[in-house]
Amino acid sequence: MKRLFLAFCAFVSIPQLAIANNAGVTSSADPRVTEAGMEMLRQGGSAADAAMAMMLALTVVEPQSSGIGGGGFLLYQDNSKGILSTINGRETAPAAAAPDRFIGPDGKPLGFLAAFQGGRSVGVPGNIALMAEAHKKWGKLSWPKLFKPAIRLSEKGFVVNKTLESRLQLIARLWPSFDEARSIYWANGKPATAGMTIKNPKLAATLKHIARRGPDAFYKGAIAQQIVGAVTGSKVAPGDMTMTDLAEYRAKEQQAVCAPYRAYVVCGMGPPSSGATTVLQILGTLQRFDLEASGKDSAKSWHLIGQAMQLAYADREKYLGDNDFVDVPVAGLLNPEYIAQRSALIDPDKARIDYPAGNPPGAGPRTAAISSEVAGTTHFTAVDAKGNIANMTSTIEGPFGSQLVAGGFFLNNELTDFTFAPEKDGAPVANRVMGGKRPLSSMSPTIVFDREGRAVLALGSAGGKRIIMHVTKTLIGAIDFGLTLDQAIALPNIYFGGGQLEVEENSFLAAMEGELAKYGQTVRSVDLGSKVNGAQLTADGWTGASDPRSEGTSAAIDAKGNVTIKMPRSSAEAPTEDVG
């Protein structure tokens, strides 16, 4: 167990977990996707098989959030070998991409509305390459079987839910410039509404082709030509992606980032994800405070969480990026002495007036710069009968990505996750655009191990930069406040902006607004929707959990094949805030 307490660890070895008292669990933001994963488990598939079938099904029913036109990060706990692995399927910038990609004719950074639409914002998609690596390493079912649920949903059609309806309404004013998107998701000249059935035969044909020919069929040949054609032929901001960019894309297995918190070890993705590093910084700076004693109903607990959050995000903006291109001081950021220094900046009785970035060991000169990252994305979790865990966050960035469609699927706008201004104060920023580089991400798939080395929690969320806080809040709820995963997910969300502390409206934190403000920082109640999904090991085995703010579900199958479905929501009402 000693190796788990390293801040930066490769292929973490842990003791084998006893087989759970059920034959598998799946959790996702859409019941049809939860069922797609369960279908794989019923056939004897592994957690990896289930998760990859879920990723494909999300391409169909949650096109606004993720899919094969985007990328993701996967944590995989191979229980039989006791090894935690991670796969980086983050999109890359085309080779021709230059640092001034999002600089306008006036020499200033473009506004987000101008930047995200069209081919300029599209990165080389990584999800199929990630899927291929996961299947090769941990798959049990044949490659074509993983595509069956998604193909069925594309061919026979799926019913539009309230969430998709709301996203279509949100984006409708842009789509006169995007004929292909309109042809699939509009009916009678208007965006499709809840209850309508959508069929996507072009996507079905694409999925069938990849199922027959394997992952190379996505990155070479006809599908790759469709992607390049959509990007370079866009009516809006045509891009410069080439067939070579696609053919040379590789998903890569890389080191997990882990650190202790209380009696647990928390693990997540390394750069270009800022998720694990920032989550672990927040937790580390809170370690000296007794949150269990103060409890979830105490304003002091949330004051401390808010202070730790703002300090960690300051380091995120300054130091995090793609470590193939910039030196990211992960070990320094999680160094216990440095964490203690950062924690000492927190006054338990008073909010700070500023939240400066620090100087972690091993960090070179760097300028801080804010990156754009809108609230999108999706997360899903699968646990199989042998206790293997596949925990993946996937995205095409903003709602419907770049708005461009190729082969029936949306292409991402992931390049807008780069910092638009390549320099600040005369020095290059860590997250500047460069050819072949992967943009900084807040995706935070997380697995937690107990003192015996057993995996006990797996979770992640949607929500742009807020993903980090949705995950952190949930971890604190489970570890410090002693809540079940369902209860921890349901805790109010917290974030910050414009020098203010933001708390979720219509929650007990909103009712506590005045009490929190007494610590000296302006507090405002805002819509902080989230979309957390995950699973938890209990005395009765693994159980799934999903966010009551979403339409997500979880399901468990026992040894006799009986499936139990958990639905935290009492209605199919869409979340009001755009979390993808």
Active site residues: 377
- List the beta bridge partners of residue 381: 27, 391
* Cα distance between residue 397 and residue 420, in whole Å: 15
DSSP for 168-231? Answer: HHHHGGGGGG-HHHHHHHEETTEE--TT-EE--HHHHHHHHHHHHH-THHHHSSHHHHHHHHHH
* Cα distance between residue 134 and residue 75, in whole Å: 10
- List the beta bridge partners of residue 447: 267, 458
Q: Which two tokens stand for residue 498?
A: 């414009």
Q: What 3-state class would DSSP assign to 269?
A: strand
* Cα distance between residue 134 and residue 117, in whole Å: 31
**Ramachandran category for residue 426: left, alpha or beta (phi over 0 → left; psi -120 to 50 → alpha):** left
Instruction: Report which DSSP code applies to 519.
Output: T
Instruction: Report which DSSP code applies to 372.
Output: P
Of 278, 255, 273, the C-alpha closest to 473 is: 278
Q: Measuring CA to CA, how many Å separate 526 from each of 252, 495, 504, 506?
A: 38, 10, 5, 9
- List the beta bridge partners of residue 555: 26, 565
Q: Which residue has the tokens 């839910």?
A: 161
Q: Measuring CA to CA, how many Å separate 490 from each of 460, 471, 513?
A: 14, 12, 18
Instruction: Check if the beta carbon of residue 390 is closer than 8 Å to that of residue 381.
Output: yes
Q: Which residue has the tokens 């160094």?
A: 335
Residues 6+ apart with CB under 8 A from 535: 25, 27, 381, 383, 389, 457, 458, 459, 485, 542, 543, 544, 545, 554
- Give the rounded distance of the alpha carbon of 157 from its chain centre: 27
Q: Which two tokens stand for residue 534?
A: 């995950």
Q: Which amino acid is at 48?
A: A
Instruction: Check if the beta carbon of residue 207 is closer than 8 Å to that of residue 150.
Output: yes
Of 115, 123, 78, the C-alpha closest to 96 is: 123
Instruction: Check if the beta carbon of residue 530 is closer than 8 Å to that of residue 503.
Output: no
